[in-house]
Amino acid sequence: MKKTYAFRQGAAPPFSWICLFVFCTAFAASISPAHAQSPSSPLASVQVTGSSRFKSEQVAGFTGLQAGASVTREDIQGGADRLAKLGAFASVQYRYSTLGAGIRIEYQVTDAPAIPAVFDNFPWLSDDELVAGIKASVPLFDGAVPPQGIILDQICTAIQKLLMAKGVRVSVSHALSVSGAGTRQVQLFSAEGDQLNVAGIQFSDPLASGDRMIEDRVTDLLGKPFSRSAIEIFELEEVRPIYLSHGYLGVSFGPPSSRMAGDPKSVLPNKLIVQAPIDPGPVYSWGGVTWKGNYSLPAEGLDDFVKLKTGDLADGMKIESAWEGVRDIYSRRGYLDAKVDAVPSFDETTKRVTYTVSVDEGPQYHMGQLILTGLSMDGERRIRAAWTIAAGAIFDKTIYENFVDTGVKRAFVGSPFRYEKIGRFLQENPQSAKVDVLLDFQ
């Protein structure tokens, strides 16, 4: 009889409940009575199947089982546990059958989702040197890693050993993070301990290197420990808007690199020059916008938010402001769930950009109840008297936000009541198209 073991990857469950056995009867052969009575049996072979990333010989050794050794059912289960704890596999199953006088084991796995490995602050080594060194110590590392598992700790240990060989003593950790504009999940490896500070940043494009606003803000990075993620955030928040405002809508940023500053003969200089590559792409002009799904607001009214005419420089900041203005006008008219999706279309011949903007309005909400907590009777009377959206009226989110920010303070002028903060919450009911306002004074 062939038997199957199944495991689903989770948050490192204890061995006492990690295993689920499913007994299969698809095979007529069964383990001999001698095997059934013996606490162990000789192992004929171990095979790992099901992975599209790794070969059997890459993975089999991680089970801890070797052909020719005597194994028990607990040993086989332990092999599955070790594979599961790696994190590289979303599920692990095993089945075994007799092969002559021994047992043949097949571990069946499915690959876990793989995300890029990003190295944040290791200026002592190039990415190629890091990757090569990690691969030499962690055979299952191929540039991508799972979201969790002990393979991540093995990578940290491998990096620490590489740096120790260069006389750099750091502790290496990993954490899930996002890269670029915040849409791509990555596994970020970073070092703590010996640090190299940023002495200067050299942008590859003249617009960034000559812009006064960027020059003023880059001082926030100077003298601070080198960090790729910090530089990428700076590029996203400070540099990219400058390029967008100049019509470079396709600007892209390469991975920052670094070189040692000061005396190159110094064993360990403590300052770096960061090189930040930028590909600005072409400058685009404005070609217009087409609206879809805007049933409650006419296209002519929405066009007023776009402060551009055909042929104008496609100022990306004005374009983003237009979409924010559309979202705002919908929220003022009770469409609290409205979604505005702007999709650009680039004509590379004319260097002109047009947009198709799809609006999903959702329900139009009206005022429900004003629910107040943490107030005295006088305080509640003051707040209700100052609240200006009548029950059943179209809910204007801007009025609500202004009331919380400034209206509450005005309502308490001359009152001894004091509060430190206000908990706020909008309870939407799409079925009744009403929204309750909850304010908790603390």
pLDDT at 101: 75
pLDDT per residue over 425-437, tens digit each? 999 999 999 999 9
Domain spanning 285-360, CATH architecture: Roll (3.10)
Contact 98, 142 (CB under 8 A): no
pLDDT at 133: 95
Is domain 3-111 in CATH 3.10.20.310, yes or no? Answer: yes
Q: Which of 280, 440, 297 is nearest to 371 (CA)?
A: 440
Average pLDDT over residues 421-428: 95
User: What is the maximal distance between C-alpha atoms in the chain?
Assistant: 94
The CATH class, in words, for 366-441 is alpha beta
Give the residue, 261 or 257, on which the prediction is more confident. Answer: 257
Contact 198, 222 (CB under 8 A): yes
Q: For helices 150-164 and 73-86, what crossing angle results, to 10°?
A: 60
pLDDT at 16: 31
Neighbours of 160 (CB within 10 A): 17
Is the pLDDT confidence value at 265 over 70? no
Distances (CA, A) of 366 to 271, 275, 386: 59, 54, 18
The tokens of 410 are what?
Answer: 């005005």
Q: State the Cα–Cα distance between residues 355 and 365, nearest whole angstrom.
A: 29
pLDDT at 264: 53
Q: How many residues does the chain have?
A: 442
pLDDT at 100: 75
pLDDT per residue over 323-333, tens digit each? 999 999 999 99
Q: What percentage of the chain carries pLDDT values higher than 70? A: 88
Q: What is the three-class DSSP state of 373?
A: strand
Write down the mean pLDDT value for the chain. Answer: 88
345 pLDDT band, cuts 50/70/90, is very high
Q: For helices 150-164 and 127-137, what crossing angle results, to 10°?
A: 120
Q: Indicate where the chain has its CATH 3.10.20.310 domain(s).
A: 3-111, 115-279, 285-360, 366-441
pLDDT at 22: 32
Is the pLDDT confidence value at 183 over 90? no
Please state which CATH number belongs to domain 115-279.
3.10.20.310
Lowest mean pLDDT among 127-141, 144-158, 232-246, 260-274: 260-274
